[in-house]
């Protein structure tokens, strides 16, 4: 990179905002970022309009950190715009990498979700049963909402992505390392996940033994031995199949890894990998015993696919009536 | 990837494949698959002309990979691998598509469907094969010593064959004496020679052979290592008798005041002492103390045996001894257990006193048994006037064991003969089918019929003492449908013999796991190939012989024992063995030491290296089964020849739309 200050863009698509906070968690290092880059787009923090970024030259942004999953036309539009305007597009955080929490919507569909959120949920008071509309007339004129997809996608399923920085959110030291790598030009091959290719177990100081699981417990049910692998104690831990880099924060404090850093290199389906790993060590000899043990694990699909359902081989729950989703928008045809 | 040049060969297998699959079309179609430079069909690929075609093409077209679409790899994978190797191509650059068992044979009524499936399978193989890598077999040295587990007739035969060839054998037997079930029998069918008379010389030979170390009253506890280099830990249970001093004189058991019902050798019909030798011809001849029943171990008193032993051989404080032996091969000859007829309550065994098991009858009839060979009722004196023999007890019965126990028909005929010879009683055989398939067996069946035994074809539904008529009073009544005359019958008799079937031993599963031999759905050990490799297991260097592999009679057990010995001797004389290179390897730089894989391996090939915090596969032990590869949650275990890339490419290949002209992955 030349002496000239680079241009940095940050954007949030379907996300919670935690990734933005993670950038701010760089603390004083954010000044180094500011020193190296002009921030040309960061809607969460500064007042930019879409027209501003659309007005940029193609490739004018040196690095764009894009967080959030793609679940509506607006997300997708900005993904295309930022791809066009950026030299390096980084899928930042678990949502843009794997779909994450928004992606769990792929276990259901748009209609069922709207029905619950806007009609059925106990905290909703909507006697007219009003649902969000793409177009609605108000005295001031027509309001529009972006088209809401029935299937949540990852950033890489919409546009080509140069690098992935996983985590929910990515840890500050990794953001720093990634930014440093970009600034100094010491980048791994394009398409790489930035971070070590070992699992959370590698950073977890708990003692690992041969495993046999007879029963799963929820965190509130037992006080785990502080020195022994949580999984061996029956606490679900996705650390066995999840990329390290976080410093094993959760398991170190007695909470099983949730899997936010996603799968290791070459794994096509994070959930399936953790599932086979855990299924392999169930202490059962008959299908009935397997069922009995798995009955103690509530919401297994949610546990195994918490962060990577849209990116997995499964993608989503099958759509009924032989419907297929269109490749681009995920809308039912 | 440099240029790939794939040759495809589609086999007609006479009409086996070509009768259903349009073989010429498959070959033409395959020529358009990516990287294929030559595609041919051939009447019989496995014939020398077919193999030579591959060899010539490898040279002429400079093939980098070969695909043969024919039968199961079990059948001819080796054949074609060898053909590739002869032409200088690494044999692991060959892939087989099974279009016979997987297409033509199973879709005989759907020619188009079978042809499309054959195309999919060829496409899968073509996509996969270019990802295959050259592999080299690993050579290991073979130790000449052999472990034989089980001292029944099969184990004895194996041990003697190997020892006679000059190689050392460790013969481990759980019971105090070798001999197994055969030592308990009276006569053997169909020749009616005395079981002990033909067995004891072999037992003696095994006990005194310079090349056999007999470890009786011992059990294998742990097996480590791999073909050629097994380390086996054996527990020698304490006999409480010093074998170096004991002469087997018998003073101890003559004077021992404690009588114990002998439920093992005498099937509960006779008794022994608290210090005992199971039977007079036992090998080794030394007695053991039964500590459960010996007064000394209860109260610290008695010590009668110690007092009378002329050589001071009694050792009350003797402890189990752990022995480690190093062997190159292992033969499992752990035998069978009898079906427990109590599991069929309507046959009344254990409730109706004159219902006997086959083993009880063997002891009754044996001159060395508790009645000195007199066939009498449970009261010990009354000779039966009529005897029923029930075949297939617990065998060929969906409720218990679906398999045929193979020996019961002939053993039942033998019982009929012995009863008639010794008592003159009327004998009824209740059978489902008579199976007299081996040499001399059918003649034996006719002989017993001519001797006057009655045969009633029907499965006994109940044995009862509830009489319906005065003639039935005081008798056991067998209720069945006589299927030859087509009506129900009640047959009153004095004595019933249940020909209980042969079952796998209760611990066969655990024993199999320890040695790396699997059990099939009947529970017997699984042979590598049911027809062509009946004494080998999936674990190199571990063989099976006798009734642990499936119910069988003495001649078959002996034949298998000898066969296993021949296999062992063949490996020993090779001195080295090539191990399949298809095995798992852990990328230690990426292993995080979660230890999920550690107890997955059925062959105990995975060790956790504490110092490095990683798991490691011992390549000599690994059989390439892929269990750990699948289990590894971070995908850092690579299964050679079944790599992730190869499997995904294979799936991509099978997803090719074979009905369309274009070769697009859908």
In a domain, A325, yes or no: no
pLDDT of A183 higher than 80: no
Cβ contact (<8 Å) for A211 and B635? Answer: no
∠ at Cα B459 (B454, B463), nearest 5°? 85
In a domain, A305, yes or no: no
In a domain, A324, yes or no: no
Residue in chain A lying closest to B635 (CA) = A267
Both A79 and A178 in one domain: the answer is yes
Both A49 and A66 in one domain: the answer is yes
Residue in chain A lying closest to B595 (CA) = A210
In a domain, A254, yes or no: yes
pLDDT of A322 higher than 80: no
Q: How confident is the model over B410-440, as pLDDT tens digits? A: 999 999 999 999 999 999 999 999 999 999 9
Q: Which of residues 250-309 of A touch B (CB under 8 A)?
A: 263-268, 273-274, 276-278, 280-281
Name chain B contacts of A202, Cβ cutoff 8 Å.
592-593, 613
- At B411, list the tokens: 């053993």
B138-237+320-335+505-579 placed in CATH 3.50.50.60: yes
Question: Which residue from B224, B221, B256, B264 is spatially nearest to B240, judged by alpha carbons?
Answer: B256
Count of structural domains, chain A: 3
In a domain, A327, yes or no: no
Q: How far is it, in rounded angstroms, from Cα B496 to Cα B427? A: 10
Name chain A contacts of B633, Cβ cutoff 8 Å.
199, 240-241, 273-274, 276-278
Q: How confident is the model over A61-105, as pLDDT tens digits? A: 999 999 999 999 999 999 999 999 999 999 999 999 999 999 999
Q: How confident is the model over B292-319, as pLDDT tens digits? A: 999 999 999 999 999 999 999 999 999 9
Q: How far is it, in rounded angstroms, from Cα B516 to Cα B527? A: 12
Q: Would you list the DSSP string of B168-230?
A: -EEEE-SSSSS-TGGGG-SEETTTTEEHHHHHHHHHHHHHH-TTEEEE-SEEEEEEEEETTEE
**Chain pair A-B, CB pairs under 8 angstroms:** 76
Contact assessment for residue B241 and residue B289, using Cβ atoms and an 8 Å cutoff: yes
CATH assignment of the domain containing A75: 3.40.50.700
The pLDDT confidence band at residue A178, using thresholds 50, 70 and 90, is confident
The more confidently predicted of residues B187 and A47 is B187
Contact assessment for residue B162 and residue B146, using Cβ atoms and an 8 Å cutoff: yes
Q: Which of A41-55, B17-31, B151-165 has the lowest mean pLDDT?
A: A41-55
Please report, for chain B, how many H helices and E strands are present, in that order: 17, 34
Both A122 and A258 in one domain: the answer is no
**Per-residue model confidence (pLDDT) at position A46:** 86
Both A293 and A168 in one domain: the answer is no
In a domain, A115, yes or no: yes
Both A35 and A174 in one domain: the answer is yes
**Per-residue model confidence (pLDDT) at position A64:** 95
A209 touches chain B (CB under 8 A): yes
**Per-residue model confidence (pLDDT) at position B501:** 97
Contact assessment for residue B361 and residue B495, using Cβ atoms and an 8 Å cutoff: no
Q: Give CATH for domain B580-640.
A: 3.30.70.20
The more confidently predicted of residues B662 and B520 is B520
In a domain, A248, yes or no: yes
In a domain, A61, yes or no: yes
Q: Which of residues 50-109 of A touch B (CB under 8 A)?
A: none
Cite the residue boundaries of each domain of chain B with CATH code 3.30.70.20: 580-640
Residue in chain A lying closest to B588 (CA) = A198
Q: Which of residues 599-628 of B touch A (CB under 8 A)?
A: 599-600, 608, 613, 627
Both A178 and A78 in one domain: the answer is yes
Residue in chain B lying closest to A200 (CA) = B592
Nearest to A266 among B593, B598, B635 (CB): B635
First to last CA, chain A: 45
| Domain range for A144 | 107-149
Q: How confident is the model over B592-621, as pLDDT tens digits? A: 999 999 988 988 899 999 999 999 999 888
Pairing of β B193-194 and β B187-188: antiparallel
The pLDDT confidence band at residue A329, using thresholds 50, 70 and 90, is very low
Both A211 and A172 in one domain: the answer is no
Mean pLDDT of chain A: 91
Q: Which of residues 580-599 of B touch A (CB under 8 A)?
A: 590-599
Q: How far is it, in rounded angstroms, from Cα B231 to Cα B224? A: 5
Residue in chain A lying closest to B633 (CA) = A241
Both A41 and A111 in one domain: the answer is no
Nearest to A277 among B593, B599, B633 (CB): B633
Name chain B contacts of A200, Cβ cutoff 8 Å.
592
Long-range contacts of B46-53 (CB under 8 A, 24+ apart): B46/B11, B46/B70, B46/B71, B46/B75, B46/B76, B46/B79, B46/B80, B50/B9, B50/B11, B51/B79, B51/B80, B51/B82, B51/B83, B52/B83, B53/B9
Both A164 and A279 in one domain: the answer is no
Name chain A contacts of B597, Cβ cutoff 8 Å.
280
C-alpha separations of B226 from B162, B231, B258, B598, B618 in Å: 20, 9, 46, 18, 9
Name chain A contacts of B644, Cβ cutoff 8 Å.
266
Cite the residue boundaries of each domain of chain B with CATH code 3.50.50.60: 138-237+320-335+505-579, 338-503
Both A79 and A164 in one domain: the answer is yes
What class does CATH assign to B6-135? alpha beta
Q: How far is it, in rounded angstroms, from Cα A269 to Cα A324? A: 21
Residue in chain B lying closest to A197 (CA) = B590
Name chain B contacts of A281, Cβ cutoff 8 Å.
596, 599, 631
**What CATH topology corresponds to B338-503?**
FAD/NAD(P)-binding domain (3.50.50)
């Amino acid at each position: 990179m030349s002496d000239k200050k680079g241009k940095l863009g940050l954007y949030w698509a379907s996300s919670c905002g935690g990734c933005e906070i993670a950038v701010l968690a760089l603390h004083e290092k954010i000044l180094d970022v500011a020193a190296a880059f002009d921030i040309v787009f960061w809607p969460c923090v500064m007042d930019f309009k879409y027209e501003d970024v659309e007005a940029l030259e193609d490739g004018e942004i040196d690095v764009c950190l894009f967080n959030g999953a793609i679940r509506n036309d607006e997300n997708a539009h900005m993904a295309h715009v930022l791809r066009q305007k950026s030299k390096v597009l980084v899928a930042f955080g678990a949502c843009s990498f794997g779909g994450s929490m928004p992606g769990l919507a792929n276990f259901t569909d748009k209609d069922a979700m709207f029905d619950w959120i806007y009609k059925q949920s106990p905290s909703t008071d909507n006697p007219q049963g009003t649902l969000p509309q793409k177009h609605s007339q108000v005295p001031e004129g027509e309001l529009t909402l972006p088209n809401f997809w029935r299937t949540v996608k990852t950033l890489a399923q919409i546009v080509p992505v140069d690098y992935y920085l996983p985590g929910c959110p990515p840890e500050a030291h990794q953001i720093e390392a990634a930014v440093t790598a970009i600034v100094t030009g010491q980048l791994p091959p394009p398409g790489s996940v930035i971070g070590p290719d070992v699992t959370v177990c590698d950073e977890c100081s708990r003692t690992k033994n041969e495993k046999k699981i007879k029963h799963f417990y929820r965190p509130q049910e037992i006080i785990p031995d502080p020195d022994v692998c949580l999984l061996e104690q029956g606490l679900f831990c996705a650390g066995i199949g999840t990329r390290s880099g976080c410093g094993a924060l959760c398991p170190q404090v007695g909470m099983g890894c949730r899997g936010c850093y996603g799968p290791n290199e070459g794994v096509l389906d994070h959930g399936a990998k953790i599932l086979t790993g855990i299924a392999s060590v169930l202490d059962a000899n008959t299908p009935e015993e397997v069922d009995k043990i798995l009955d103690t694990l509530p919401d297994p699909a949610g546990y195994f696919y918490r962060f990577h359902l849209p990116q997995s081989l499964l993608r989503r729950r099958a759509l009924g009536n032989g419907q297929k989703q269109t490749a681009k928008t995920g809308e039912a045809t | 990837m440099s240029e790939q040049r794939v040759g495809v060969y589609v086999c007609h297998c006479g009409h086996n494949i070509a009768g259903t699959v349009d073989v010429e079309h498959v070959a033409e179609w395959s020529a358009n698959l990516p990287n294929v430079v030559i595609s041919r069909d051939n009447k019989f690929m496995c014939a020398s002309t077919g193999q030579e075609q591959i060899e010539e093409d490898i040279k002429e077209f400079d093939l980098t990979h070969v695909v043969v679409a024919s039968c199961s790899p079990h059948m001819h994978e080796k054949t074609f691998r060898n053909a590739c190797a002869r032409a200088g191509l690494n044999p692991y650059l060959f892939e087989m598509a099974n279009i016979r068992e997987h297409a033509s044979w199973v879709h005989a009524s759907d020619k188009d469907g079978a042809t499309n499936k054959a195309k999919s399978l060829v496409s899968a193989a073509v996509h996969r094969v270019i990802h295959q890598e050259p592999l080299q077999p690993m050579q290991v040295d073979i130790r000449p010593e052999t472990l034989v587990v089980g001292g029944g007739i099969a184990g004895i035969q194996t041990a003697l064959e190997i020892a006679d060839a000059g190689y050392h054998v460790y013969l481990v037997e759980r019971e105090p004496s070798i001999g197994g079930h055969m030592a308990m029998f009276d006569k053997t069918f169909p020749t009616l020679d005395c079981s002990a008379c033909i067995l004891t010389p072999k037992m003696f030979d095994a006990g005194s052979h310079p090349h056999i170390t007999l470890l009786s009253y011992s059990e294998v506890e742990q097996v480590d290592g791999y073909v050629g280099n097994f380390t086996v830990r054996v527990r020698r249970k304490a006999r409480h008798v010093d074998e170096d001093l004991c002469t087997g004189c018998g003073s101890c058991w003559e004077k021992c005041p404690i009588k114990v019902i002998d439920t093992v050798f005498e099937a509960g019909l006779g008794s022994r002492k608290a210090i005992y030798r199971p039977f007079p011809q036992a090998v080794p001849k030394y007695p053991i103390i039964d500590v459960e029943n010996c007064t000394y171990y209860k109260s610290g008193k008695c010590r009668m045996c110690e007092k009378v032993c002329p050589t001071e051989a009694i050792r009350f404080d003797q402890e189990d001894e752990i022995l480690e032996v190093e062997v190159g091969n292992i033969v499992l000859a752990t035998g069978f257990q009898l079906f427990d007829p109590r599991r069929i309550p309507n046959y009344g065994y254990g409730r109706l006193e004159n219902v006997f098991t086959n083993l009880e009858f063997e002891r009754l009839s044996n001159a060395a048994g508790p009645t000195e060979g007199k066939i009498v009722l449970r009261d010990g004196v009354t000779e039966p006037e009529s005897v029923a023999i029930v075949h297939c007890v617990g065998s060929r019965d969906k409720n218990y064991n679906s398999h045929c126990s193979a020996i019961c028909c002939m053993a039942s005929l033998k019982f009929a003969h012995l009863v008639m010879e010794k008592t003159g009683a009327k004998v009824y055989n209740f059978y489902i089918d008579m199976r007299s398939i081996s040499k001399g067996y059918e003649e034996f069946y006719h002989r017993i019929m001519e001797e006057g035994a009655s045969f009633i074809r029907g499965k006994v539904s109940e044995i009862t003492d509830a009489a319906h008529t005065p003639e039935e009073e005081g008798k056991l009544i067998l209720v069945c449908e006589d299927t030859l005359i087509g009506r129900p019958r009640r047959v009153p008799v004095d004595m019933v013999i249940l020909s209980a079937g042969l079952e796998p031993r209760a611990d066969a599963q655990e024993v199999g796991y320890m040695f790396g031999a699997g059990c099939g759905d009947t529970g017997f050990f699984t042979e590598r190939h049911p027809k062509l490799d009946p004494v080998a297991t999936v674990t190199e260097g571990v063989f099976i012989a006798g009734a642990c592999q499936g119910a069988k009679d003495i001649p078959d057990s002996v034949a298998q024992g000898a066969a296993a010995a021949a296999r062992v001797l063949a490996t020993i004389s090779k001195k080295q063995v090539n191990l399949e290179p298809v095995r798992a390897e852990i990328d230690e730089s990426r292993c995080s030491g979660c230890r999920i894989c550690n107890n997955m391996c059925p062959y105990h090939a995975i060790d956790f290296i504490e110092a490095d915090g990683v798991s490691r596969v011992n390549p000599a032990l690994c059989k390439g089964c892929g269990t750990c590869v699948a289990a590894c949650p971070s995908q850092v275990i690579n299964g050679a020849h079944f790599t992730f890339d190869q499997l995904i490419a294979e799936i991509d290949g099978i997803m090719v739309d074979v009905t369309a002209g274009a070769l697009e992955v859908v």
